């Protein structure tokens, strides 16, 4: 490994300090380093910008939290550059290395003591009157939900062209295994091991209590039509970017053509992260 890019959390001095310490540390090992502060792309109908990560980059290091990691993952898009996250606090579901141990973990990585773990992503698009008006790749989830003052929404949902059901309620989460521990788990959805290849549909506060989460194989295409009236309904991707939804808009979700490649250091244990974040076994 000779070229690394470091993207750090915006407006956080401690993230900038750690990023530049890492820059010096990598440079001392005869590596070239590209360092940038992250940019804010969050919001609905925002003009989406990207950080142009140099094409010679062999690994991307994200310094921040899981939110920063999700935004940087979109910059990579269809590239196969592996990515690793350093969390400024404790362990994150995505930023799995903590700041205190990061130099020791990177020593192992540079020595070749690591694994590449592939995580499936989703391609989410919105079609309005036959025209695509929105398209993004997401790592965690796509969420269709109503605003605070909106009434129950009606979502006509099909799988590979076959009608599934009308979801009536506050909305619908379409998640990856990586996103199963995000909004999905709060809405009562299942935890899925992150390297699995499945798509999870979890209704949010369904009017019909027998509407339960469903897990589908990764090869399916999910189509959701928003029925009338669709006042104050929004599609949100990874909790960061989104698009307002109108009556009869079609939301299409399928597996992205390329997975995201995670660098897994040997000192990181997914089950340890679950126990820590979800407080399993604690009184």
Q: Which residues carry out catalysis?
A: 66
Which of 38, 42, 40 is closest to 62 using CA atoms? 38
Could you tell me the CA-to-CA distances from 276 to 32, 118, 190, 198 in Å, in that order?
A: 35, 23, 18, 25
Are 139 and 260 in contact by the 8 Å Cβ rule? The answer is yes
CA 227 – CA 154 distance, rounded (Å): 5
Are 64 and 134 in contact by the 8 Å Cβ rule? The answer is no
CA 168 – CA 206 distance, rounded (Å): 6
- Which alpha helices (H) appear in the chain, and where do they start and end? 13-27, 66-76, 102-110, 183-186, 270-278
Are 255 and 160 in contact by the 8 Å Cβ rule? The answer is no
The helix (H) or strand (E) run that includes residue 201 is: strand 198-204
Which of 176, 34, 191, 60 is closest to 116 using CA atoms? 60
């Amino acid at each position: 490994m000779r070229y690394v890019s470091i993207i750090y959390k915006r407006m956080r001095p401690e993230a900038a300090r750690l990023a530049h310490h890492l820059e010096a540390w990598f440079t001392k090992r005869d590596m070239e380093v590209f360092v940038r502060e992250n940019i804010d792309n969050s919001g609905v109908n925002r003009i989406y910008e990207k950080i142009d990560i140099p094409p010679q980059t062999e690994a991307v290091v994200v310094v921040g939290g899981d939110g920063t990691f999700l935004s940087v993952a979109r910059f990579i898009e269809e590239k196969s550059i592996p990515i690793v996250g350093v969390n400024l606090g404790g362990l994150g579901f995505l930023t799995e290395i903590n700041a205190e141990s990061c130099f020791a973990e990177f020593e192992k990585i540079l020595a070749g003591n690591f694994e590449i773990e592939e995580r499936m992503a989703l391609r989410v698009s919105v079609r309005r009157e036959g025209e695509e008006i929105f398209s993004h790749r997401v790592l965690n989830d796509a969420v269709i939900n109503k605003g605070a003052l909106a009434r129950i929404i009606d979502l006509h949902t099909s799988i590979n062209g076959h009608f599934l059901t009308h979801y009536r309620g506050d909305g619908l989460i379409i998640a990856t295994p990586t996103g199963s521990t995000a909004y999905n788990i709060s809405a009562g959805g299942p935890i899925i091991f992150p390297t699995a290849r499945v798509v999870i549909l979890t209704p949010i506060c369904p009017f019909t209590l027998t509407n339960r989460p469903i897990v589908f194989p990764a090869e399916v295409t999910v189509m959701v039509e928003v029925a009338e009236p669709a006042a104050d309904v929004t599609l949100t991707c990874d909790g960061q970017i989104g698009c307002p939804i109108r009556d009869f808009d079609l939301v299409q979700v399928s597996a992205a053509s390329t997975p995201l490649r995670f660098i897994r250091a040997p000192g990181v244990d997914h089950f340890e992260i679950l126990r820590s974040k979800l407080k399993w076994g604690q009184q």
